[in-house]
Amino acid sequence: MSVGDSESLSPPEEGSPERRKGPVRPQPNNPLHGVTLKFILSELVEKLGWEEVSRATGIRNFTDRPTLPSGLKFLRKTPWAREKVEAVYLHELCKKTMVQPVERE
């Protein structure tokens, strides 16, 4: 075994690219962690419809014959639009969790 081989067996340094490739850590305080843009847009369109998503976000791309693929393409290329859609999704998610009745015995 050469010296170069023994160095490769040591753990990667903190912050190195090899160190970052491990399993993703859970993010309990991030409600968007693990949620895809496709899921977010699909849920909003199913619940609100394209017209309401357009009104809530102010994105005109969602008004003229919108489709899921065209909406996703636009959102992936336009960070400010993605942020608005994520904000509306979080607002709807928050409303959903706050409205659920509490069962009492």
Domains of the chain and any CATH numbers: 35-96 (1.10.720.30)
Q: How far apart are CA 40 and CA 83, in angstroms?
A: 11
pTM above 0.85, yes or no: no
DSSP 24-62: PPP-TT-TTTT--HHHHHHHHHHHH-HHHHHHHHT-GGG
Rounded distance between C-alpha atoms, residue 50 and residue 60, angstroms: 10
31-75: per-residue pLDDT in tens? Answer: 777 888 999 999 999 999 999 999 999 998 898 889 999 999 999
pLDDT single digits (tens) 84-105: 999 999 998 888 765 555 555 5
C-alpha 72/C-alpha 82 separation (Å) is 9
